[in-house]
Structure 1
Amino acid sequence: MFDVSLLSKAIEEGNRDKSVQLTTEALSAGASPLNIITHGLQAGMGTVGEKFSSGEYFLPDMLMAARAMNACLEVLKPLLAKTGIPTIGKVVIGTVEGDMHDIGKNVVATFLKGSGFEVFDLGLNVSDKKFVDEVREKKADILGLSALLTTTMPFMSRIIKTLDEAGLRSNVKVIVGGAPVTQDYASYIGASL
């Protein structure tokens, strides 16, 4: 029987190669993809999140762990598709128009994937039309909007308005984030979180 806590520790350490190796070993030993995700990847990232919150870990530590987790998810993705494990929901995520920063968005997307969401990452500098088209096409449950620059934050409001005009706003939770984004701002523009 494979000890998935070893994988959890490798994720916590941000060791990508070791994490992938341990994921492969866990599969060879008969561990299910769901068990690997829950007790290996999510547990490791949970510890990383706690250490980040307490100030013991910094952004580079979190990024290394997220990259390790993403590499493991790539190994598991074909197996998850075969097992028919249902996803929790669909998320469309991206950085708003005019903003070319994606570190935070990438970390959030990784956490969501590892938690069982199907994630459609639109990347950087995404227009309101592209967000709305993708929400409609993918039948997304959640829309994640990221902005690091205060000058691009107004695009979040515009996207929510465009969603509303398209008749999609009531069908999707809108989550906004980024260094300058506050809960007050999220509430002001009508975001869910």
Structure 2
Amino acid sequence: MADEQDIILSELDDEELVLQMHDDLYDGLKEEIEEGVRILLDRGWQPYDVLTKALVGGMTIVGIDFRDGILFVPEVLLAANAMKGGMAILKPLLAETGAPKVGKMVIGTVKGDIHDIGKNLVGMMMEGAGFEVVDLGINNPVEKYIEALEREDADILGMSALLTTTMPYMKVVIDTMKEKGMRDDYIVLVGGAPLNEEFGKAIGADAYCRDAAVAVQTAKDFMSRKHNKLAAG
């Protein structure tokens, strides 16, 4: 059997190259992904097609295997990092071509909480699914969320907490959004180890997402409903 290193990406035809990139993403090979992206662009591929077919296609497989317990957080972070490498090349080109965006998400860990692995994973997986993600980092007061949602013209707010003591702050953010009359303008997704579906409902979130794969699927579902509503309206 040929050694993995013997594969010369530029010698593969388009279809083989895309499949190889799915494998390379799965294995977290950043340099190979960057090379693959450049080759497809040189062959005249549209940036949006490279994003959806090669990168999002590959991350979808990663997401499914993460959900099913075949892949674990370290492998997913590696895959997401490889994806980021490819995205860095595509981002400026996508902006120029005005490629359709799936949606825009503002994400951050709530005030008093400095845990960010779960949040980072969700952010990376969302980008992997074609969403634009604005990451506010950790320890976010309500003002920071509100300001970012308005500034970024976002569709989705994602909040995470890993401590039972910081969980209730999510309600503070949602209640403030209600007071400002802006709650209905956004899809609010919450997640984090101590949360559950009942808690999500109790604080008025649209959905509780138990992991990054669920978050991506939930966001996609909500966005397609939003688009259908707009189309129907």
Aligned to 1:177: 191
Corresponding residue number in structure 2 for 1:28: 42
- Note the 1:76-155 alignment, pairs <5 A: 76-155=90-169
Q: Could you state the TM-score of these two structures normalised by the residue count of structure 2? A: 0.79
Cα distance between partner residues in 2 of 1:39 and 1:110: 17
Which moves more between the two structures, 121-130 or 132-141?
132-141
> With structure 1 as the length reference, what TM-score do the two structures score?
0.94
Pick one of 178, 186, 191 that aligns with 1:164.
Answer: 178
For residues 75-96 of structure 1, the C-alpha deviation after alignment (integer angstroms, 9 at most, x for no partner) is: 1001001111132222111111
Identity percentage over the alignment?
44
Alpha-carbon distance in structure 2 between the residues aligned to 1:78 and 1:168 = 31
2:62 partner letter = V
Moved over 6 A (4+): none
Report the Cα distance in structure 2 between the residues aligned to 1:87 and 1:47, rounded to whole angstroms.
20
Structure 1: unaligned runs, 5 residues or longer: none
Match of 2:73 in 1: 59
Distance across 2 between alignment mates of 1:44 and 1:89: 19
Counterpart contact for 1:93–1:105, Cα < 8 Å: yes
RMSD: 1.4
Q: How far has the Cα of 1:54 moved from its partner? A: 2.4
Deviation at 1:175, TM superposition (A): 0.4
| SS in structure 1 at match of 2:140 | coil
Over residues 95-131 of structure 1, what are the superposed CA-to-partner deviations in whole Å (9 max), with x where a residue is unaligned?
Answer: 1111111122112112222333222111111111110
Residue 16 of structure 1 is matched in structure 2 by: 30
The CA distance in 2 between the partners of 1:24 and 1:178, in whole Å, is: 37
Q: Within 1, Cα distance between the matches of 2:195 and 2:84?
A: 26
Unaligned runs of 5+ in 2: 1-12, 208-233
SS of the aligned residue for 2:165 comes to helix
SS at structure 2 position matched to 1:101? coil
Aligned to 1:4: 18
- Report the alpha carbon displacement of residue 53 of structure 1 after superposing the two structures with TM: 2.2
Rg bigger for which structure?
A: 2
* Mapped partners of 2:60, 2:155: distance in 1: 23
Q: Distance in 1 between matches of 2:193 and 2:54?
A: 29
Deviation at 1:70, TM superposition (A): 1.3
Task: Work out the CA distance in 1 between the residues paired with 2:97 and 2:20.
Answer: 24
Distance in 2 of aligned mates of 1:16 and 1:180 = 33
